[in-house]
Every structure is written in C-alpha cells, then in structure tokens.
Amino acid sequence: METAPGRGFELMRLMHALKPHISVERAFFGAGAIGALPGVLRDLGVAKALIVTDRGVAASGIAERVRILIEGAPVAAAVFDATDPEPGAEVPDGIAARYRNEQIGCVVGLGGGSCLDTAKAVGIMLAHGGTLREYLGPDKIYRPGLPVVLVPTTSGTGSEATPNALFIVDGEKQAVLSRHIMPTAAIIDPELTLTAPAPVTAASGLDALVHAVETYTSLGATAVTEMYSLRAVELIAGSIRSAVWRGSDLAARTDMALGSYLAGVAIANAGTGAVHALAYPLGGKYRVAHGVANALMFPYVTEWNIPSDMRKFATLARAIGEPIDGLSLHDAAFKFLSGIEAIIEDVGVPRSLDDVGIPRSELGALVEGAAKQTRLLKNNPRVLSKDDMATIYTKAWR
Ligand SMILES: [Fe+2]
C-alpha cells in the first residue's frame, strides 16, 4: 500500500526518537573530574592544545591549573584568555586568525557559556577556515572540526552538552547549529565552580533552571528528555539558593553542575522555548547577561504557558518542592509560578526591565527581535502572537 502524498512526511514529523540521540561522546562528572583531562588529550593523540577562556577564569588561577595539567599530559598548551562575556563574531574570528598557523590539535573551552561556545566555533574555524558568519544558522558545517573538550566553570549554559554556539551578530543573538560542534568530551567538575561569585551563580543557575523547565514543556520533548529535564529541575531548584549564598557548599555546587548538564542534554534533544526567544533581544542590543534576561522573562512566559499544559506544570510545581497535595489541577499548576517567583526573588537578580536600563520605547523592537526566534518559538507549548509578546514584555517593566 502506498502512502498518500504528504502523509509519510507528516508521520516522520510526529515521530519522536526516544534515545537522546545527540549527546557528548565522553562525559566526566564529579569533584576532581578535571583530573581526567590529561588522559582525554592523550587518547586524542594531539601534540598541542589551545585553551580558550576569559580573564576572570585566568584571575582565579583555574586557567593556569589547567595549563599545567595539559602540559603534564604531556601536551603543549597555548592560552587565549580574553573571551568576551557576550561575544560577537570578532572574538572567534580573531582567535582563529591568531592561532591558524600554530598547529593546534585540540581546543579546550574553559569557563562559562561564552568561553565554551567560542571554543566550539574556534574548533571548526581552525580546521576548515572561514569566518564565523559563514557558519551561522542550522547545518552549515559538513565535517567535524578539531576535537573540542569543554570544561564549564559555571553551572548554567549546558553548552558542554549541546550542538549550539551563540554569538551577537548585527545586534542579534545568532546561533551556529550543527552536530559537528558537539564537543568530543565534557569534563564537569563542580570544584571549579566554587569560586563563581553570587551574581554569576544566580544568573547562570536561573539559566539552567529555565533550560530544564523549557525543555520539559517543549513540544519537542520525549519521554526520555522529560526524565533529564525533570531531574534537572529537582536538582537546580533544590540547590540554587545554597549555591548562591553559601558558595563553598560543594554538595549544592555538585547538584547545580549535574542539573545544568542534564538540562543541556535536554536542550540538545528537545530545545528551549519562548523564555529564550523573548530574552535574546535583551542580550542582543542591551547586552543584558543571558541568565538575567531569562530570569526577567521567566515568570511572565510561564504564566502565559501554564494553561496550555496544566499537568506538566503541576508536576513541575512538585519538582521544585511546592506542596500540591489536595489542590485542584489548576491551583497545583499555578503553584509553580509562585514557586519560581520565590526562587528568583531569593537569589537576588534584577526583577524589572527598568533595572537593566531598557526604556519602554523599545517595546516594538523587542517584539520584532523575539518574533524572529522561530526555531525556539516552535517548541513553546502555547503559541504567541506579537501582541501576546508585547503584553508579556509590558509586564516585565514592573
Ligand atoms: Fe540559556
């Protein structure tokens, strides 16, 4: 029997792969996991590695520690320690130009999301040449680049588990999206996050929480990604306050690091949604830190989304520790909203678009910017028109 025209495609579209099909080849986790780095480099058989990091990580002494570890492998190490917090195309372009003739065999990304994303792009550009702009968008890369080992020093982006790298190009957040920028190995050592200051821990931790929630309610979620997302929600909600306000708490830092990684795996396979879509314009033009931008949009997008999937939001309420026994499904689902409001309040990030210097006259531009993020909006459990986006932004000037 033949399939009716269009029917086969429709079935393909509706079919979900149950295995998390995009995942990092090797992942090491736990206090002291950084000790696995020399062995990983030896297994790759490289003679020289380029560490891509930033000044904060260099100032903390972590970059030097990692350089010594690499040289003990023994593998020669070069260090680039001037990555930007919200990098533009010029950052990876500049690094690739500078190290093109240095026989780099492997890139080690060390730091927060911007360092890791920059390392992913540099790994492609050192292998295949070109500039970042040529790789922006989905599936513009046809072969693997240099091996890339990612070592996060914050618990937030989950970049060590995703095939995405984000840059601000032409005033907008734009992404390189390709399975060829999946890292070769991820080394997640919560001890490396112990010195992250409270504001960084709060912003990156809320980014991770948003990843966990948005992937859980994503229209691209599967039974398998939901497990990753829900566990990530439990871990992050249960530890973020301690990680922020008692930074030396290794148990809290460990839960945050695991939650962030699990949420990253969920991003790679289920995608994020409207919180990210509405947050990106805040980062693009106004350079609001990604985690802060997400935290600003999170309650209002959640309030919008809850009626679309009350069962899932009630489950999320339970996962963040809200008492929901005996409540109606409606009340249980909305407990999630008050629960995340309390978390955001408790960790002390800006609560209003006024606080980050965005004037109300920008409303139209923000809506236009968010509406372009169709790759994210298509995952959101409830459709948003431009008018709906305007309503949500307006609530965030509170
Ligand atoms: Fe994010």
Distance 291 CA to ligand 1 centre (A): 7
Distance 282 CA to ligand 1 centre (A): 13
Q: Does the pLDDT value for residue 335 go beyond 80?
A: yes
Gap between the terminal Cα atoms of the chain: 60
Q: Does the pLDDT value for residue 201 go beyond 80?
A: yes
Whether 77 and 103 have beta carbons less than 8 Å apart is answered as no
Is residue 359 included in any domain, yes or no? yes
List the 26-29 sheet strands across, edge first.
26-29, 185-188, 148-152, 106-111, 48-52, 76-80
Residues 104 and 223 in one domain: no
Tokens describing residue 386: 């431009």
Distance 277 CA to ligand 1 centre (A): 10
Distance 293 CA to ligand 1 centre (A): 9
Among 307, 308, 311, 316, which Cα is nearest to 336's?
A: 316
Say which CATH number the domain at 185 has.
Answer: 3.40.50.1970
Q: Confidence class of residue 115 from pLDDT cuts 50, 70 and 90?
A: very high
Residues 75 and 215 in one domain: no
Q: 177 in helix, strand or coil? A: strand
Print the SS3 string covering 178-246. Answer: CHHHCCCEEEECHHHHCCCCHHHHHHHHHHHHHHHHHHHHCCCCCHHHHHHHHHHHHHHHHHHHHHHHC
CA of 305: how far to CAs of 263, 313, 334, 384, in Å? 19, 9, 10, 9
CA 333 to chain centre: 25
Residues 275 and 139 in one domain: no
Say which CATH number the domain at 216 has.
Answer: 1.20.1090.10
Distance 213 CA to ligand 1 centre (A): 11
Q: Quick one: average pLDDT of 306-315?
A: 98
Residue 213 structural domain:
198-396
Looking at 143, 161, 193, which one is the last position of a domain? 193
Indicate the number of domains in the chain: 2
CA of 239: how far to CAs of 147, 217, 243, 321, in Å? 33, 22, 6, 11
CA of 73: how far to CAs of 135, 153, 214, 280, 291, in Å? 32, 21, 40, 40, 35
Looking at 193, 224, 243, which one is the last position of a domain? 193
Distance 289 CA to ligand 1 centre (A): 10
Residues 222 and 319 in one domain: yes
Q: Does the pLDDT value for residue 7 go beyond 80?
A: no
Residues 137 and 251 in one domain: no
- In whole angstroms, give the CA distance from residue 117 to residue 83: 10
Tokens describing residue 128: 């295949």
Q: 79 in helix, strand or coil? A: strand
Residues 340 and 279 in one domain: yes
Distance 207 CA to ligand 1 centre (A): 5
Is residue 345 included in any domain, yes or no? yes
Does residue 121 or residue 25 have the better pLDDT?
Answer: 121
pLDDT score for 285: 81
Distance 42 CA to ligand 1 centre (A): 32
Distance 75 CA to ligand 1 centre (A): 33
Is residue 289 included in any domain, yes or no? yes
- In whole angstroms, give the CA distance from residue 311 to residue 297: 22
Distance 394 CA to ligand 1 centre (A): 22
Is residue 117 included in any domain, yes or no? yes
Whether 50 and 78 have beta carbons less than 8 Å apart is answered as yes
Question: Looking at the chain, how many residues does it have?
Answer: 398
Residues 181 and 221 in one domain: no
Tokens describing residue 154: 């914050």
Interval 43-62: pLDDT, tens: 999 999 999 999 999 999 99
Is residue 228 included in any domain, yes or no? yes
Looking at 143, 163, 193, which one is the last position of a domain? 193
Interval 120-178: pLDDT, tens: 999 999 999 999 999 999 999 999 999 999 999 999 999 999 999 999 999 888 999 99
Distance 46 CA to ligand 1 centre (A): 32
Is residue 20 included in any domain, yes or no? no
Distance 3 CA to ligand 1 centre (A): 40
Distance 165 CA to ligand 1 centre (A): 11
Distance 15 CA to ligand 1 centre (A): 26
Residues 318 and 221 in one domain: yes
Residues 225 and 183 in one domain: no
Is residue 9 included in any domain, yes or no? no
Residues 164 and 221 in one domain: no
User: DSSP string of 304-325?
Assistant: HHGGG-HHHHHHHHHHTT---T
Residues 366 and 255 in one domain: yes
Distance 214 CA to ligand 1 centre (A): 10
- In whole angstroms, give the CA distance from residue 294 to residue 276: 6
Distance 260 CA to ligand 1 centre (A): 10
Is residue 122 included in any domain, yes or no? yes
Residues 77 and 220 in one domain: no
pTM listed for this prediction: 0.94
pLDDT score for 4: 42
Whether 112 and 55 have beta carbons less than 8 Å apart is answered as no
Among 70, 160, 166, which Cα is nearest to 118's?
A: 166
